[in-house]
């Protein structure tokens, strides 16, 4: 009986992980110095009521003992947008890029 509960718990965990990412599309990926630009674009989308998230994924082999500052240089940053907001987010990001271009 105990193994059945454990199996059910594992299956529920797998389903939760699979569904957690459903409905999101990664629009931009960056690392290192690109973090500031992605954060600016994330903030721009949020101020325009676009449902989005900024995810940080540490590089493989990163130890817990390393400082956050050191790990940021080797991390990957992803700007995800909810599937219902992808078209609007794409338009807004193009607008953002035009505004940032020097004259």
Q: What would the pLDDT profile of 32-76 be if each residue is shown by its tens digit?
A: 777 889 999 999 999 999 999 999 887 665 555 444 444 445 788
Q: What is the pLDDT of residue 84?
A: 95
Length of the chain as a residue count: 103
pLDDT band at 19 (very low <50, low <70, confident <90, very high): low
Calpha distance 39→96 (Å, rounded): 12
Q: What is the dihedral of CA 56, 81, 27, 58, to 10 degrees?
A: 10
Q: Which neighbouring-strand residues pair with 80?
A: 26, 53
Which pLDDT score is estimated for 8? 82
Q: What pLDDT is attached to residue 34? A: 77
Mean pLDDT of 15-29: 80
DSSP alpha helices (H): ranges in 1-103? 2-20, 35-47, 68-72, 86-100
pLDDT score of 99 more than 50? yes
Select the more confidently predicted residue: 96 or 17: 96
Out of 3.40.1130, 1.10.10, 1.10.20, 3.30.70, which CATH number does the structure's domain 23-100 have?
3.30.70
Three-state DSSP class for residue 102: coil
Report DSSP state, residue 73: T
């Amino acid at each position: 009986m105990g193994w059945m509960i454990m199996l059910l718990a594992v299956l529920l965990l797998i389903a939760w992980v699979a569904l957690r990412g459903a409905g999101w599309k990664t629009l931009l990926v960056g690392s290192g110095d690109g973090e500031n630009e992605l954060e600016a674009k994330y903030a721009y989308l949020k101020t325009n009521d676009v449902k989005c998230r900024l995810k940080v994924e540490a590089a493989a082999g990163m130890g817990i003992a390393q400082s956050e500052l050191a790990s940021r240089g080797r991390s990957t940053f992803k700007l995800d947008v909810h599937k219902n907001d992808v078209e609007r987010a794409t338009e807004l990001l193009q607008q953002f890029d035009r505004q940032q271009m020097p004259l």
